[in-house]
C-alpha cells in the first residue's frame, strides 16, 4: 500500500451501515466540542470568532478526506494561538494568510519528500517544554477577558501583558469574574453528569442565556465583534511579492514544523488507542493542503487536534467519515445558529481556554521530567522559558540545537577506544584465546590491539587520534577491532586516514578485524581499503595476529591461506 494514499479510500472497502451510524454519532459529538473551542481559539489568536469555525469546517474536512489517519480530527488548536497572535500583530491578516499558505506548501513538501518519520524525532523534553510554555501563554492571554479588565490592545509578549495587568487590576469587573467562574464550574463539573455532551458547550449556553435574560453588563462576542456572518467567505488570495515572502519565511516554517509535529503526535496517540497505523507522509500532505485551503477562505492555521481526536475514538469513530461529518455538522450549525453566537460572554470563552491551557500544560509530565538526566531537564527548562518570555520560534531553534549537542556529547561518551593486551583473557563473544596468540609473537609489545566501541563519528574521532598517537616505538603492527562499531561518518574517515599516515611514517602496519557492513562500505568508498590492501582485513584478532607474525618472520611470505573479509569493490 502506498504511503501517499488517503486512509479514506482504504477504510471505505467493506464499509458498513453500522459503522456509518457510529461515525455519524462521533462526528456530531466532536462538532459540538469543536464549536466553542474554534470560536475561543480564534478570538485568543487575535482574529474574529467566525474564522475559527471556517478553519474547523474547511481544514477539518480536507484533513479527514485526504489524511493518512483513520480517526484524526483537524482544526484550530491552542498550540498555534501564540504564533497566530504574534503574526497578526506584526503583519496583519494578509500576513497571516500568506504565512499559513507558505506553511501548507512546506508541509506538502515534507510529505512528498517522505520526512514524516523524521519530524517525529523531536526530543520529548523539547515538546514538553514548549507545550507547557504555550499553556502558560494561553492562560496569561485570557486574564483580561476573564476578569473584565479595562485595557487597550494587549501586546504579544508575556511580560508586556503582565505589566498591563498589574497596572489595570483595579478595573476588574466582578460580574464578569462571576460569569467566568460559573463557566469554569460547569466545564469541570459537567464531566460527572455526562461524557457525551461537552461541558464547554453547556457552559456557553448557560452563561449566554443568563447574561441575555438578566441583561448583565458583561462583554459578549456581539459587543466586541458585532453581527457574525453565517456563510463561508469567498475565496481570497492575498497579494504576493518577494519582500513579503522573505519576511514571512520564518513564521511559515514555525507553523509548518509545529503543525507537522502536533498532527503526527496526535496520529501516534490515536494509533495506540485503535491498534492502527497511520501514514505519516500522506498525513503531512493532507495537513498542508488543508492549511492552504483554510487560509484562502479566511481561516487560520490548522493541525490534528489530540483532544478532539480522542473524543472521536471514544464515541465510536473509526474512519475518516467521522471527521468529515464533524465538518459538515459545524457548517450546518454555522448556517442556522451563527446569529446566536454573539450572545456568548467573553468571560465564558476565556474559561474554556483556561481549561484548555490546564489540559495542555501536561504538568504531571513536566514535573516527572525532573527525574530525568540533568541535560534533559536543562533542555526542557530552557525551551519552556524561551517559549514564555521570547517566542516559540526561538524556543524550538535553541532547543533543537541544545538537544543535538547533548546527543553528540552522550554518543561521544558511549564511544570509546580501549587498548587490549595480548596476555589478557578474552571477555567478549569472539572465540579467541589471547594467551595462545601471545605465544605466536616473539615480542608481544610489537603488536598493539585497540578496540573501538560505539558509533565512530565526529564526536569520538579526536579520542581515536589522541589514543593511537601514543603507540610505543617498538610497535610494528596495529590491530583495530571494529566489531562493535555500527557506523562511521566523514570525520571518522579523516581520523582513520590520519592514523594510517602516522603509522606509515613510523613503519607500523595497520590491520582491521570484525568490521561491520556500513563502516566497511564507508572505508571502501573513501579509498581506504584499497590503500590498506585486502590482506589488512580479518574476521577476528587471532587471524590478524597470525598474519602479523608471518609478516615479521619473512617480508616475502604472505599468509594467503587465512579466511579474510573481502572489502566491497
Q: What is the pLDDT of residues 184-199, one digit of tens each?
A: 999 999 988 987 788 9
Alpha helices in 298-426 (DSSP H): 306-314, 320-341, 346-361, 363-368, 374-389, 392-414
Residue 108 lies in a domain: yes
Last residue of a domain, one of 406, 424, 449: 406
Tell me what the mean pLDDT of segment 121-127 comes to.
82
Residue 338 C-alpha cell reads as 451563527
In a domain, 565, yes or no: no
pLDDT, tens digit (0-9, with 9 covering 90-100), for 86-118: 899 889 999 999 999 999 999 999 999 998 887
Alpha helices in 113-157 (DSSP H): 116-119, 124-141, 143-147
Q: What are the residues facing 446 on neighbouring strands? A: none
322 and 351 share one domain: yes
How far apart CA 167 and CA 162 sit, in angstroms, is: 9
Kindly indicate the confidence band of residue 436, based on its pLDDT and cuts at 50, 70 and 90. Answer: very low
Q: Which domain holds residue 60?
A: 7-406
Query: Three-state DSSP class for 303?
Result: strand
383 and 520, same domain (yes or no): no
Question: Which of 341, 372, 406 corresponds to the end of one domain?
Answer: 406
Higher-scoring residue by pLDDT: 141, 419: 141
Give the three cell numbers for residue 68: 493518512
Residue 134 in any domain: the answer is yes
116 with 185, same domain: the answer is yes
| Residue spans of alpha helices (H) in 124-215 | 124-141, 143-147, 158-168, 174-189, 199-214
Higher pLDDT, 313 or 154: 313
447 vs 303: which has the higher pLDDT = 303
**What angle in degrees, to the nearest 10, is found between the helix axes of 392-414 and 78-112?**
60
Its pTM stands at: 0.76
β-partners of residue 74 are 304
The DSSP secondary-structure symbol of 418 reads: E
Rounded to whole angstroms, the Cα distance separating 315 from 555 reads: 80
Residue 552 has pLDDT above 70, yes or no: no
- Residue 492 maps to which CATH number? 3.30.750.24
The verdict on 104 and 161 lying in the same domain is yes
- The number of folded domains in the chain is 2
CA-to-CA distance for 59 and 302, rounded, in angstroms?
6
Whether 397 and 420 share a structural domain: no
Kindly state whether residue 289 falls inside one of the protein's structural domains: yes
Q: Are residues 172 and 295 in the same domain?
A: yes
Per-residue pLDDT band for 417 (boundaries 50, 70, 90) equals: confident
In this structure, the answer to whether residues 464 and 324 fall within a common structural domain is no
Give the strand pairing for 416-420 and 303-304: unpaired
Tell me what pLDDT residue 425 has: 39
pLDDT of residue 166: 93
Query: 49 in a domain, yes or no?
Result: yes
Same domain? For 139 and 239 the reply is yes
Question: Is 322 domain-assigned?
Answer: yes
Q: Is residue 449 part of a domain?
A: yes
Examine the domain organization and report whether 147 and 53 are in the same domain: yes
> 255: pLDDT confidence band, cut at 50, 70 and 90?
very high
The pLDDT assigned to 31 comes to 95
Residues 152 and 227 occupy one common structural domain: yes
Model confidence at 333: pLDDT above 60: yes
* Last residue in a domain, options 341, 371, 406: 406
Residue 412 has pLDDT above 90, yes or no: no
CA pair distance 469, 21, nearest whole angstrom: 73
List residues bridging with 484 in a β-sheet: 453
260 and 356: one domain? Answer: yes
Q: Are residues 18 and 107 in the same domain?
A: yes
> What's the gap between Cα 122 and its chain centre?
4
Average pLDDT rounded to a whole number, residues 126-153: 90
* Assigned domain for 90 exists: yes
Amino acid at each position: 500500500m502506498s504511503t501517499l494514499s488517503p486512509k479514506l479510500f482504504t477504510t471505505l472497502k467493506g464499509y458498513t451501515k453500522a459503522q456509518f451510524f457510529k461515525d455519524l454519532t462521533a462526528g456530531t459529538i466532536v462538532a459540538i466540542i469543536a464549536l466553542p473551542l474554534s470560536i475561543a481559539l480564534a478570538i485568543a489568536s487575535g482574529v474574529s470568532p467566525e474564522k475559527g469555525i471556517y478553519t474547523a469546517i474547511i481544514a477539518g474536512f480536507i484533513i479527514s478526506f485526504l489524511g493518512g489517519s483513520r480517526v484524526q480530527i483537524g482544526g484550530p488548536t491552542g498550540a498555534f494561538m501564540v504564533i497566530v497572535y504574534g503574526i497578526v500583530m506584526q503583519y496583519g491578516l494578509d500576513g497571516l494568510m500568506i504565512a499559513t499558505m507558505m506553511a501548507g506548501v512546506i508541509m506538502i513538501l515534507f510529505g512528498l519528500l517522505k520526512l514524516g518519520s523524521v519530524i517525529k524525532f523531536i526530543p520529548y523534553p523539547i515538546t514538553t517544554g514548549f507545550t507547557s510554555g504555550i499553556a502558560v501563554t494561553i492562560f496569561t492571554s485570557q486574564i483580561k477577558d476573564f476578569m473584565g479588565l479595562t485595557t487597550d490592545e494587549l501586546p504579544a509578549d508575556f511580560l508586556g501583558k503582565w505589566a498591563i495587568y498589574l497596572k489595570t487590576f483595579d478595573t476588574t469587573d466582578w460580574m464578569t469574574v462571576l460569569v467566568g467562574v460559573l463557566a469554569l464550574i460547569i466545564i469541570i463539573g459537567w464531566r460527572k453528569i455526562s461524557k457525551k455532551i461537552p461541558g464547554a458547550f453547556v457552559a456557553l449556553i448557560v452563561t449566554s442565556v443568563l447574561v441575555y435574560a438578566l441583561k448583565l453588563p458583561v462583554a459578549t462576542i456581539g459587543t466586541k465583534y458585532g453581527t457574525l456572518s453565517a456563510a463561508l467567505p469567498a475565496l481570497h488570495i492575498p497579494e504576493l511579492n518577494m519582500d513579503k515572502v522573505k519576511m514571512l519565511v520564518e513564521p511559515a516554517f514555525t507553523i509548518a514544523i509545529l503543525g507537522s509535529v502536533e498532527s503526527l503526535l496526535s496520529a501516534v496517540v490515536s494509533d495506540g488507542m485503535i491498534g492502527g497505523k497511520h501514514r505519516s507522509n500522506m498525513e503531512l500532505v493532507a495537513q498542508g493542503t488543508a492549511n492552504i485551503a483554510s487560509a484562502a477562505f479566511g481561516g487560520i492555521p490548522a493541525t490534528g487536534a489530540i483532544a478532539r481526536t480522542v473524543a472521536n475514538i471514544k464515541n465510536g469513530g473509526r474512519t475518516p467519515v467521522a471527521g468529515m461529518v464533524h465538518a459538515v455538522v459545524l457548517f450546518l450549525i454555522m448556517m442556522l445558529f451563527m446569529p446566536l453566537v454573539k450572545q456568548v460572554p467573553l468571560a465564558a470563552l476565556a474559561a474554556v481556554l483556561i481549561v484548555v491551557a490546564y489540559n495542555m500544560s501536561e504538568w504531571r509530565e513536566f514535573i516527572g521530567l525532573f527525574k530525568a538526566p540533568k541535560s534533559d531537564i536543562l533542555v526542557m527548562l530552557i525551551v519552556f522559558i524561551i517559549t514564555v518570555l521570547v517566542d516559540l520560534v526561538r524556543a524550538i531553534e535553541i532547543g533543537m540545537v541544545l538537544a543535538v549537542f547533548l546527543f553528540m556529547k552522550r554518543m561521544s561518551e558511549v564511544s570509546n577506544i580501549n587498548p587490549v593486551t595480548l596476555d589478557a583473557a578474552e571477555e567478549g563473544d569472539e572465540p579467541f584465546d589471547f594467551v595462545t596468540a601471545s605465544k605466536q609473537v616473539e615480542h608481544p609489545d610489537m603488536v598493539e590491539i585497540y578496540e573501538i566501541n560505539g558509533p565512530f563519528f565526529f564526536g569520538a574521532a579526536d579520542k581515536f587520534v589522541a589514543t593511537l598517537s601514543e603507540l610505543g616505538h617498538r610497535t610494528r603492527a596495529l590491530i583495530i577491532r571494529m566489531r562493535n562499531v555500527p557506523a562511521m561518518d566523514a570525520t571518522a574517515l579523516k581520523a582513520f586516514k590520519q592514523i594510517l599516515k602516522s603509522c606509515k611514517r613510523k613503519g607500523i602496519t595497520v590491520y582491521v578485524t570484525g568490521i561491520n557492513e556500513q563502516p566497511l562500505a564507508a572505508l571502501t568508498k573513501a579509498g581506504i581499503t584499497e590503500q590498506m590492501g585486502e590482506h589488512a582485513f580479518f574476521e577476528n584478532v587471532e587471524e590478524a595476529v597470525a598474519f602479523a607474525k608471518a609478516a615479521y618472520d619473512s617480508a616475502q611470505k604472505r599468509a594467503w591461506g587465512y579466511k579474510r573479509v573481502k572489502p566491497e569493490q
